[in-house]
Structure 1
Amino acid sequence: MSLPDKNSPTLTLVHPTEEEKLATFKKNGLEWRGALSLEAYIRREHHLADQSHTKDGGISHWILIDSASKDRTILSSCETYRRRALVARNGKVEEVVSHGIGSVFCAPECRKRGYAGKMMKLLGEELKNHQAKEHGKKNCAFSILYSDIGKKFYTNLGWEPFNSSHIALPAKAKRSETDLENSMPQARPLYAEDLPELCAIDEQRIRRTMLKASSGHRTAVAIIPDIDIINWHHSREEFVGRELHGKVPKIKGAIVGSIPGKRVWCYWTRMFYNEDPKATFENTLHILRLVIEEQGIFDWEKESHNISKKAMAEYIPAIGALFRLAQEEAKEWMMEDVWLWNPTEATIDAVKAVEPEAKVIDRDAESIASLMWYGEKNGDGLVCDYVDWLGNEKYGWC
């Protein structure tokens, strides 16, 4: 097979046919199927493309081809997810169009020829306007991706790395004899029917918080954790749960408290990587989103809003209780551990009350949260010097 040069002017980014899309699934599924058979992996991809988050253009598939070639050899491929997002600047909060990029893949026979880089360069330009006008916007505000090949490759293409850390707890229910753990309240499970109302409350809270997060010349951005994006994650775990265990997970998260405005809750998802349904290695329960409902107490990742230690400390036992229930669910579903991305100081204190040896890990190779900003630039510095990515949690992953 004769392959074109990466700088050929005939290399083109296009949407695949259904037959070509299936061909990409068969290729990348050999490496990404995880705990699933290849046949089940392909069914899962079709299933996930039929969710409320992905229907009606919510997901777009892309392939790089040589337009001068008759056989349309797929040189590289990926997919993008249209995401509702917010941008706060100059005292205003605006809902914008953004895109998340996933499944960047180059088949073995096409690797080390620069095709993935060429595709991403073209895609970065394409996403500036992709689906913006049909949603009443002049252009897209930003795009994100999560690099599994370190920071350099995507940084060179315009997606700058942001904070990518996590704290992990083992999937066990052994209690530590700390005063804080002994004072933890009772966490209650959340089920699918509980989530729409909580997601709506969270979105309104976020819109109010975003105004506070933007000050001076800084801009704040956030992917909205709406019910559609949370359901997409749960559809993924339910499909794999059914394939491996013959049942679907019913408990979707946990909540502490009953008084509106004073509650604390989280949503989670289980990610199965081990083919053996009786083995736990590499299986992880991820906290998708952690919410402290009281306004002004816990402004997302911002720890510098003059929030008193005493005010934050009030919620540490409740957060710890959420993690305790998450550990129990992880153990029930053969997970190795529980992860929370980009923990705040209060969250770290809560985790250590449950697991004193827990440490924050800064990722430098996998799931590197990266953002390309399409808005106005502020000097020659990095985007992260003047843009705050708030809510940089697992729910934004794709």
Structure 2
Amino acid sequence: MAAQHLPAADSPHLHLVVATVAEALAQQHVNSTEWRGALTLDAYLRREDHLLAQVLAKDGGLTPWMLVYQPPPNAHGEAQERRVLCGCESIRKKALLAKRDGGGLEVVVAHGICSVFCPEELRGRGYAGRMMSDLGKRLKHWQVDDVKQNTSAFSVLYSDIGKEFYKARGWQPFPSAHISLPATSSPNNALAGIAKLESEDLEELCAIDASILRARLSHDSSPRTLVALLPDLATLQWHHAREDFVATELHPADGKGTTPEFMDGGRGAIVEVKGGSRVWCYWTRVWTNPQEEAPNTLHILRIVIEDEYPDFRPASSSGIEVARTERLAVVEAIASILAFAQVQAERSGMQEVQLWNPTSTTLAAAQLLDQQAAVVEREKESIASLQWYGEGSWEDVEWVCNEKYGWC
């Protein structure tokens, strides 16, 4: 279609639709330059098929969306072929919602948005903005047949183009910070008592985590509505399926597509705290495009503390002092599993360990390993953004456990 014949972004002939299988595959070919990272095109397409077979995404869990131009019928009244202008995907997720002032806890539907892409030759015409505006409205009632309210609670995305574009379409930027520790084979912490987590350990631990999270949200007296994406088994399996595929493609152990040896470091680590409670974490490795300057990173997907302390809030100087004096055993336990993560990162060619939106307790633990560890506020990449569909304003909402496991 010639440039002069492209419709305006507000044209009534533009429609947000669910892509056909052929359209979705064509979009993957187009967006591969942006999203395949270190993979070849062929490997990227196979990875996307692999992820679509995971519990979180299969059977309609993932929806491929397209903004299409559907020209009016021609002079003979015949329908004309539609053209895809841009696309994205959404993944249905489970979430918890605690109403303000102890008003009750609900399991709700939320959606994660990913793979937003517009071909370079079509940029600057407002198509991506039109798609996102329409998508925000559509997701409010998308795939909610089994919930009482008949609406989604919210949708989230992680912007790599700063805060303003998605904010203008309804997704408000929420805290997007992290701490980093260097990968090393000699961490500043003893590793005694650490056990690695295997895939078969995760189902039980996810159930325990969900129970703890429900209790903490139910008893929180915040004047704001609390929401959290549920860190369930399906979510972790999706991350690990992605990690396994990329690891095998980039580092086949014997040239035959087997999992590389460094992957025997497990899915995370667990350690007992004095008094019998435990601390554990899950992680995933991310290999970046060799053409980019970003480091390969072992991301801590989630840290779980098995006690009654509702440590949700962002790290603060006063909070760190409280953690060091009143929760030292927990701080030391977290430090030990972060140190174990540093070793696993070094083994697998990662340059750093990264953890999103740390609490005071977690930051105090990181500073036991590296006194210079500090919170970095992201301004452009992986900006956690949320569009609220519930009662009141997004300003009345607090997004807790805003950790890497929610990313998609």
TM superposition score normalised by structure 2: 0.89
Does the residue aligned with 1:321 lie in a helix, a strand or coil? helix
Cα distance between partner residues in 1 of 2:285 and 2:174:
24
Paired with 2:157 and 2:276, the residues of 1 have a C-alpha distance of 33
Quick one: distance in 1 between partners of 2:347 and 2:299?
A: 14
Q: Describe the superposition over 1:251-276 as per-residue Cα deviations: whole angstroms up to 9, x where unpaired.
A: 10000018996100000000111459
- The 2-side partners of 1:6 and 1:241 are apart by 40
2:336 alignment partner in structure 1:
321
Give 1:1-398 correspondences, 5 Å limit: 1=1, 2-68=5-71, 70-90=80-100, 91=102, 92-176=104-188, 181=189, 185-216=192-223, 218-246=224-252, 247=259, 249-250=263-264, 251-257=266-272, 262-275=277-290, 282-295=295-308, 297-301=309-313, 309=323, 310-378=325-393, 383=394, 385-398=395-408
Q: Distance in 1 between matches of 2:41 and 2:346?
A: 27
Tell whether the 8 Å contact from 2:156 to 2:384 is kept in structure 1 after alignment: yes
Determine if contact 2:70/2:83 at 8 Å carries over to the other structure. no
- Cα pair distance change 1:260/1:206, threshold 3 Å: farther
Q: Which runs of 5+ in 1 are unaligned?
A: none
Residue 71 of structure 1 and its aligned partner are, at CA, apart by 3.0
Q: Which runs of 4+ in 1 moved over 6 A?
A: 258-261
Could you say if the C-alpha distance between residues 299 and 200 of structure 1 is closer, same or farther in structure 2, counting changes exceeding 3 Å?
same
Q: Residue type of the partner of 1:359?
A: A
Q: What SS class does the counterpart of residue 319 from structure 1 fall into?
A: helix
RMSD: 2.3
Once the two structures are overlaid, the 10-residue window that deviates more, 342-351 or 140-149, is 342-351
Q: 1:173 to 1:356 in 2, by over 3 A?
A: farther
Distance 1:323 1:342 in 2: 15
TM-score by length of 1: 0.91
SS at match of 2:143: coil
Q: Deviations over 1:81-137 (max 9, x none)?
A: 101001101520000111010011001111110000000000000001000124554
Distance 1:214 1:140 in 2: 24
Residues of 1 paired with 2:380 and 2:294: CA distance? 19
Q: Where do 5+ consecutive residues of structure 2 fail to align? A: 73-79, 253-258
Go from structure 1 to structure 2 and tell me whether the alpha carbon gap of 1:77 and 1:258 turns closer, same or farther (over 3 Å shift).
Answer: same
Aligned residue pairs: how many?
Answer: 384
Distance in 2 of aligned mates of 1:275 and 1:303: 33
